[in-house]
Structure 1
Amino acid sequence: MNNPALDALTAAGLEHRVIQHGPVRSLAEAAAARGVEIPDVVKTIVVRRGDDDYLFALVPGDRVISWPKLRALLGVSRLSMPDAATAKEATGYERGTITPFGSVKPWPVIADERLRGRTVTLGAGEHGVAVAVGADATVEALDGAYADITDPSPEPA
């Protein structure tokens, strides 16, 4: 299999395991297909700070971005999520496949602190493909940072 995300993971020398599964319609289905718990399915969220200025937020599956926490961390008063077409233009990936690895631009990465020390799964640039990786090695390889940027999800996954 050849795709930009897997190529970037390999180039980074990051130990990873590719997981191929069929279509999933929910976090619970993704967790079952990947053989992990819901918190270990990491959502890669593209966040818009301004014109052509984005970042990736890595969010555990059982949590949601806390916009007030993220705005305070970044020292900004406004953040938003781009629409699907803009997210694809900024990353090269469709929604549901977005990953920081192999993005068309190396946007900054902020991972929720609850991922620290865990093995997690991330999208791998195409539908039905994920990778299992160590969160700490991933954040380090992406020159990312950990911070408290999430709240518990208000609804079941």
Structure 2
Amino acid sequence: MAKTTRATQFLNKAGVTFTVQQYDYDPNAFKVGLQAAEAIGEPADRVLKTLMADVDGKPVCAVVPSNAEVSMKKLAAAFGGKHAHMLEAHDAERLSGYHVGGISPFGQRKRLPVVFEEKALSEPYIIMNGGQRGLQVKLAPADAVSALSAISTGVVA
């Protein structure tokens, strides 16, 4: 497995300090984010998942704890919209340039607006997908938000 991905290159270029963690990705896991948290021995609310969605016809990313579900109403409101829905896997892969299970908000093919669940940002560090299945990056929450010019608000159900 490569430790250099578009996501890690993006973080390096942005001057963000991070560490890489690898784990055995299970493609048959019921919830990939929860499997990642268990595999690396971290609390599920500190291991974040990247979800690709559509708000009023425009693609966006939502970064939330792996044990949380996104409220489509709150997600739409976060971006000033009225309607939101999750993207189909093939659309998420096409827009991000990553495979489902390895989607990172960093270094996507097309830079999209990103929202972080505000509760996750109270953690001393967060762990997110590093752009490859089985590869996670550990970094400071403020660094992740700043590097992505993201917003933070409550988007979980």
Counterpart check, 1:137 vs 2:143: yes
| Structure 1 letter corresponding to 2:10 | A
Equivalent of residue 75 in structure 1, options 68, 80, 90 = 80
How many residues in Structure 1 have an aligned counterpart in Structure 2?
150
Aligned partner of residue 56 in structure 1, secondary structure: strand
Corresponding position of 1:11: 13
TM-score, with structure 2 as normaliser: 0.88
CA distance in 1, matches of 2:17, 2:152: 20
Counterpart check, 1:94 vs 2:94: no
Corresponding position of 2:152: 146
CA contact 1:49–1:55 (8 Å) conserved in 2? yes
The CA RMSD measured in Å over matched residues stands at 1.5
Over 4 Å off, 4+ runs: none
Equivalent of residue 63 in structure 2, options 24, 43, 58 = 58
CA distance in 1, matches of 2:11, 2:63: 16
Uncovered stretches (5+) of structure 1, i.e. residues with no partner: 152-157
CA contact 2:55–2:76 (8 Å) conserved in 1? no
Corresponding position of 1:128: 134
Q: Note the alpha carbon deviations across 1:5-43, whole angstroms, 9 max, x for none.
A: 111111111111100111232444311222210111101
Corresponding position of 1:115: 120
CA contact 2:55–2:82 (8 Å) conserved in 1? no
Aligned partner of residue 116 in structure 1, secondary structure: helix
Corresponding position of 1:155: none
Equivalent of residue 40 in structure 2, options 34, 37, 52 = 34
Uncovered stretches (5+) of structure 2, i.e. residues with no partner: none
TM-score, with structure 1 as normaliser: 0.88
